[in-house]
Amino acid sequence: MKKIIHLTVFLAIISALAGGILGFVNQITAPIIAEKKIAAVKASLQEIFPGATEFAEITIEENDVVVNAYEATGAGYAFNVSIQGYKDVIEFIIGFDLNGKIAGLKMNYVNDTPGLGTKVGEPEFINSIVNKSVDDKLDTISGATISSKAVIEGINAAIAVFESLK
């Protein structure tokens, strides 16, 4: 009996020490990690919100499509979206200003059929979306129906999150 108590207490002390050390390291590194994460997307965010200077990552409810959310102080919100396209995922950042207008769309990863699905990354499609209101209907591209449908579905998912934030 005495033995088992000794073993339990020893392992508990070791685990508590380990937890304490990790808590300490986490406290030092957490703000730096958050800053680095923002830095990676900051260029894109700056492009979407040219006037904004302060960006912060915000936590949103767990979502299959909307991966990250960012707030541009005083300018709007941006969302990192990853959605299944025709043969691979499509990743993009979409920003909404505070009036509910689409402020910018930046494709980060498109790997669908070259010449067809990749049309979602071309200016023609992006310009057809930017400056629309969140209530407007967005048009797909003929010849790239599945890819552009996926992007619009992703945008709608981001709009849903955006509406819940307002």
Partner 1 sequence: MKSILNYGLNLLKENPVFGLYLGICSTLAITINLNNALGMGVSVIAILTVSNIIISLIRNITPDEIRIPVYIVVIATLVKAVELLIKAYAPAIDAALGVFIPLIVVNCIILGRAEAFASKNGVAASALDGLNMGVAYTLSLVAMSLIRQILATGIVNFTNPFTNVEVFSVTLIPSQFTIPIFSGPIGAFLTFALLAAGVSAIRNHQPKLKEAK
Residues that bind partner 1 (CB under 8 A): 6-7, 10-11, 14-15, 18, 21-22, 25-26, 28-29, 32-33, 36, 40
Residue 27 CB, shortest distance to partner 1, in Å, is 10
Q: Which two tokens stand for residue 32?
A: 């730096």
CB nearer to partner 1: pick between 13 and 98 = 13
Tokens of 54: 């302060």
* Residue 10 CB, nearest approach to partner 1 (Å): 6
- Per DSSP, the three-state class of 74 is coil
- Which residue from 164, 127, 125, 130 is spatially nearest to 142, judged by alpha carbons? 125
Smallest gap, in angstroms, from Cβ of residue 7 to partner 1? 5
User: Distance (Å, rounded) from C-alpha 125 to C-alpha 166?
Assistant: 27
22 or 98, CB closer to partner 1? 22
Tokens 């680095």, residue? Answer: 36
Nearer Cβ to partner 1 (10/109): 10
